[in-house]
Amino acid sequence: MDRPQATWHSVAAGKRQAILEAIPPRWILQEQIPPAEKQPNVTDGYVQQFLTPREIQITEADAVTITQHTTTGSWSALEVTEAFCHRAAIAHQLVNCLLEIFFDEALRSARALDEYYAKHGKPLGPLHGLPVSLKDQFHVQGMETTIGYVGWIGTFEGRKLDRDERTHESELVRELRNLGAVLFCKTSVPTTLMAGETMNNIIGYTWNPKNRHLSAGGSSGGEGALIALHGSPAGFGTDIGGSIRVPSAFNGIYGLRPSAGRMPYEGAANTMDGQNTILSVVGPMATTAPSLKLLFKSVLQQEPWYYDPLVIELPWRDEVELKIGRSLPNLTFAIMHHDGTVQPHPPIRRALAWMDKLLVNQGHKVIEWKPPSHQTSQEIATQVFHSDGGMDIKKHLALSGEEQLPECFLLPSDHAVAAEVADLNVRKREYQKQYMDYWNSTSAATGTGRPVDAFICPACPSVAVRPGHFRYGAYTTFVNVLDYSSAVFPVTAADRIVDKENKLDGFLGEMDKKIQQDYDCNLIHGAPVGLQIVGRRLEEEKVLTILEYFGRLLNESGSESSVVIQEGDTVPSS
Amino acid sequence: MDRPQATWHSVAAGKRQAILEAIPPRWILQEQIPPAEKQPNVTDGYVQQFLTPREIQITEADAVTITQHTTTGSWSALEVTEAFCHRAAIAHQLVNCLLEIFFDEALRSARALDEYYAKHGKPLGPLHGLPVSLKDQFHVQGMETTIGYVGWIGTFEGRKLDRDERTHESELVRELRNLGAVLFCKTSVPTTLMAGETMNNIIGYTWNPKNRHLSAGGSSGGEGALIALHGSPAGFGTDIGGSIRVPSAFNGIYGLRPSAGRMPYEGAANTMDGQNTILSVVGPMATTAPSLKLLFKSVLQQEPWYYDPLVIELPWRDEVELKIGRSLPNLTFAIMHHDGTVQPHPPIRRALAWMDKLLVNQGHKVIEWKPPSHQTSQEIATQVFHSDGGMDIKKHLALSGEEQLPECFLLPSDHAVAAEVADLNVRKREYQKQYMDYWNSTSAATGTGRPVDAFICPACPSVAVRPGHFRYGAYTTFVNVLDYSSAVFPVTAADRIVDKENKLDGFLGEMDKKIQQDYDCNLIHGAPVGLQIVGRRLEEEKVLTILEYFGRLLNESGSESSVVIQEGDTVPSS
């Protein structure tokens, strides 16, 4: 091992140790954590053993319930914050999900909020006392941001002695503080952010808490794992190709990818910053659909369009929420069972069939979604992500001398010239136009004269993958190319009995074959099964309102995602 | 002269002749048009001599008045259309402003609209029977589109035997037809669109109808000249650096540059299509402010966001219009007297001082606008416009062999690579953020606790320039970099007596010196003086409502732009 490597290894080890040392000693688990073979699922009963009943009560409440208590003074911000800090500390030890821990600062904020409430008799804002976790792209005063780069340790976005180091705060952070949220930790990401799994040289691999043989997904994988373990009620991730939706699906939580221009990205770290053919977007992730709505609405109350030049002046549209809420029974949907390139695995197919039945039984018209080829969008996205020839990530990897990790899907490439970038923008726009025309054309098939309100499709052909096996992101990336509003919701869990057989009429191609060969019903047992709902561009109010509806339907049908199907269980026929 | 040149000259001459031949012989002016020296101003009395009193009545009505008549059946679409076709035909002969003439099709449309009205007893839409002109970037069935390129004649956007040739229609055109508008001509542009004057090898130079020594501005110069001559009540131009606002100011009309994403650009021809750091936008131009609002609102009624993927789902916001309308007396403004690089000429300075007085007399707080340097935005824009190394325009010029005209401001340049494009996007965003923060900071100076509602500044340091003298576009281009909503309104006219002296304390630099040396009070006598109002991003409802208010104030103060100040007149002190 040569010099520079030795150096970055020790810098990374130092940071890894500092993260652990930020956990109060009383919260360090004393017993050895059993290996994944013995204890694949560390959620529910397993994690609860380390907590008091009161801590369990608090941390298993969703963001809406928590704020109902904290904004009315029935729960103190301090007690809530402490409970989540404790559970997050355990979560990190179980699945390796945190890059920054700042519990002391969080407890100070919580105390200040309690004092505010005592003094004014009212909450500071709608998120008063709510702990909110953040993907490690957001800058928080006093803390580092590395997005996984060893070379960013002790710098501001790779720059040494920068005056913004540990002082600059991202716009979203400022707004969350105004809303009364308590920030307490930042969650792990894959180095470069361009990966469907979460792995970096600082803390290593982030595991799926429902099945620790598997990945937490990426790139907002730390958020996904932490929230699934109820180590945080809600957080914010980012998504340029599926980075909110893949970990939401893999971990069995809810996640929203809004269209670009609704949530503030201003002042956050990013990969290939300035690439604007496909913009990365910020979105909430949480344990329930109403929690997503709470976070999304609250941020909009801060009028981010006056502080972030890329945010559109588009407040939460109550009238859309009301209209959709009133017309729920008359909504029409489409389902895309596969994208023509890769067939989803049995648990995903089962979830799609189930949603289909559920919706039809509710009286909804559900048609098949046969859009313009998603391969076109995948080709566009691949070229866009490679357009700088890897310049940005090479520069940041070189700061430490670490090498690109295999989880990162970027391949060696030549850079594009400006005219080629422009050509990609045109191709993207033409694809968007085709897709839009297709969507409009569904008005002929719904029986209402209106096009479908939203469509449902997989977020990934598989449930959570084993390390190194995230191969195919096209089920989420087409949404980024289209800039549509979309969200992921948990439907059920993979089951080694029910999902045993992977019966197919054949393969759609090489990629399909490879992915079908990956299928292993025993390995994935217990892994969450999420699906994706897609609305048009900037239809977040509609998507979130439908998402709550789906959540209620699924709950009522007895298939709530947190219930892991046991051997021998069958899918409730709805 | 070598072969290829000979070829393109004859192709261009053929097209030029075909345009003239599209004018019915009875509308060809029989007498020689006097030279500019004898008859600089061909508006008002001069053009009226060729029209009947009824034609004058119709064509000098604004779009709002016309539609009040045509949507209620008191004026027939046919009569209105014929009057405008006649006046447009004369306008073209006087100032050389049309690239496509399709009066026959227009009259057929008008007859169909009249039949519709007779049959249904109601108008087809809010623009029923309104003639609307279009900049020659919009495709209209049966017609060519050249954006000035000789090489585009007989092609679709330069491609021969393309199935879209003369069949494809731009989305805006489809919407205008749905609204009941009558399309009748397309207006001239500078080849490449990247120029502040309008000149191409097909029809030559477009002159300013108020003073034919001067330019009609560019790149929507044909629109500006035609509308100023009342050859069209309203039309649509595009603006990437001032191309709606410069010709609006030079010709003494109203023009709106909306933020990107409000008006549909889908399916229109463009230069450097796909360059998306600074997006060209579509906006209305008209003789009155209420006309702009009518056109803008009407297009939004067509829900362009379902047909153009770049349009934001943002219907006309009545509540903003109402709120601003109610709070007009409490609005606060800023004025930017110069941008620190070039001082405006006397007529512009006089107009700014006048607006200042008018607004203060109305009780408004008016502060000085001291924003982040506009040179930063100019540098960004210059790099963006040169980012493709001229590839796009070279390709299209090469189709015919014609050379780049001197009016085009693009210089030989190297192309940028994708990482440099990304860097420009970051620099643009950072500039937008700085400007936004500055705007927010004005809340400390307005006395209302709120930042200023809008600011006023020149649209150009000069009134209309003589050919080859458009030197400085920074007074409009900063708006494109910021993506702010802005509009131009006519204030007064240049006067050789009142504006004789160009008293300055000195020059701000070389460019300022050059522009001050251009000043010639005799040459510009009678040229319109317009100013610019700037609102924040996507605040079109606010800008248009304030624009109407300014129009009323200026009318009441007796300085309506159409009144050319005569020798010896002084500026009304308001």
Kindly report the three-state secondary structure assignment for every residue of B217-241: CCCCHHHHHHHHCCCCCEEEEEECC
C-alpha A384, offset from chain centre: 22
pLDDT at A91: 98
The dihedral formed by the CA atoms of B232, B234, B235 and B240, expressed in degrees to the nearest 10? 130
| Per-residue pLDDT tens digits for B204-241 | 999 999 999 999 999 999 999 999 999 999 999 999 99
CA dist., res. A279 & res. A240, Å (int): 6
pLDDT at B258: 98
Q: How far does A432 lie from chain B, in Å, by closest CA?
A: 6
Give the pLDDT mean for B138-145. 98
Please give the structure tokens belonging to residue B338: 């110069």
Please give the structure tokens belonging to residue B253: 């009309």
CA neighbours closer than 13 Å in the CB half-sphere of residue B341: 20
Give the pLDDT mean for B496-501. 96
Chain B residues touching A314 at Cβ < 8 A: 312, 314
* b (16+ CB within 10 A) / e for B20-35: eebbeeebeeeeeeee
Q: What is the pLDDT along chain A (574 residues), one digit of tens a residue?
A: 455 556 999 999 999 999 999 999 999 999 999 999 999 999 999 999 999 999 999 999 999 999 999 999 999 999 999 999 999 999 999 999 999 999 999 999 999 999 999 999 999 999 999 999 999 999 999 999 999 999 999 999 999 999 999 999 999 999 999 999 999 999 999 999 999 999 999 999 999 999 999 999 999 999 999 999 999 999 999 999 999 999 999 999 999 999 999 999 999 999 999 999 999 999 999 999 999 999 999 999 999 999 999 999 999 999 999 999 999 999 999 999 999 999 999 999 999 999 999 999 999 999 999 999 999 999 999 999 999 999 999 999 999 999 999 999 999 999 999 999 999 999 999 999 999 999 999 999 999 999 999 999 999 999 999 999 999 999 999 999 999 999 999 999 999 999 999 999 999 999 999 999 999 999 999 999 999 999 999 999 999 999 999 999 999 986 433 334 443 334 443 3
Instruction: Say yes or no for a CB contact (<8 Å) between A305 and B537.
Output: yes
Annotated binding-site residue? B243: yes
Alpha-helix runs per DSSP H in B331-402: 346-361, 374-385, 391-398
B243 included as an active-site residue: yes
Cβ proximity of B200 and B190 under 8 Å: yes
Does B315 lie at the interface with A, CB-CB under 8 angstroms?
Answer: no
| Per-residue pLDDT tens digits for B353-385 | 999 999 999 999 999 999 999 999 999 999 999
3 state DSSP class of B523: coil
| Per-residue pLDDT tens digits for B249-266 | 999 999 999 999 999 999
Residue B541: exposure state from Cβ atoms within 10 A (0-12, 13-18, ≥19): buried
The residue of chain B with its CA nearest to that of A427 is B274
Annotated binding-site residue? A240: yes
3 state DSSP class of A446: coil
pLDDT at B49: 98
CA dist., res. B458 & res. B401, Å (int): 38
Residue B506: exposure state from Cβ atoms within 10 A (0-12, 13-18, ≥19): exposed
Annotated binding-site residue? A325: no
Evaluate whether ipTM surpasses 0.85: yes
Cβ proximity of A193 and A270 under 8 Å: yes
**Which residue from A246, A214, A163 is spatially nearest to A532, judged by alpha carbons?**
A246
CA dist., res. B129 & res. B107, Å (int): 10
Indicate the residue of B308, B419, B432 with minimum beta-carbon distance to A309. Answer: B432
pLDDT at B570: 43
Q: Which backbone phi and psi does B204 adopt, to 5 degrees? A: 90, -150
C-alpha B198, offset from chain centre: 12
- The DSSP secondary-structure symbol of A124 reads S
Residue B330 has pLDDT above 50, yes or no: yes
pLDDT band with cut points at 50, 70 and 90 for residue B195: very high
Instruction: Say yes or no for a CB contact (<8 Å) between A275 and B422.
Output: yes
Do the bridges between strand B365-368 and strand B98-101 make them parallel or antiparallel, or are there none, so unpaired?
unpaired
Give the pLDDT mean for B458-474. 98
Helix A418-441 × helix A374-385 angle, to 10°: 160
Residue B456: exposure state from Cβ atoms within 10 A (0-12, 13-18, ≥19): buried
pLDDT at B557: 87
Mean pLDDT, chain B, integer: 95
pLDDT at B1: 44
Domains and CATH numbers, chain A: 3-305+319-556 (3.90.1300.10)
Cβ proximity of B271 and B235 under 8 Å: no
Q: Global pTM?
A: 0.96
Residue B388 has pLDDT above 60, yes or no: yes
Cβ proximity of B205 and B163 under 8 Å: no
- The DSSP secondary-structure symbol of A29 reads -
pLDDT at B3: 57
Any idea which of B1-15, B75-89, B210-224, B443-457 has the lowest mean pLDDT?
Answer: B1-15
Please give the structure tokens belonging to residue A548: 């709550």
3 state DSSP class of A352: helix
CA dist., res. B283 & res. B237, Å (int): 6
CA dist., res. B440 & res. A212, Å (int): 49
pLDDT at B4: 55
Please give the structure tokens belonging to residue B291: 């006309």
The residue of chain A with its CA nearest to that of B386 is A418
Please give the structure tokens belonging to residue A520: 């292993």
Indicate the residue of B310, B436, B482 with minimum beta-carbon distance to A429. Answer: B310
**How many of the other CB atoms lie within 10 Å of CB of B191?**
29
Indicate the residue of B309, B391, B426 with minimum beta-carbon distance to A436. Answer: B309
Q: How far does B418 lie from chain A, in Å, by closest CA?
A: 5
pLDDT at A574: 32
Radius of gyration of chain A measured on its C-alpha atoms: 22
Cβ proximity of B547 and B237 under 8 Å: no
Cβ proximity of A368 and A334 under 8 Å: yes
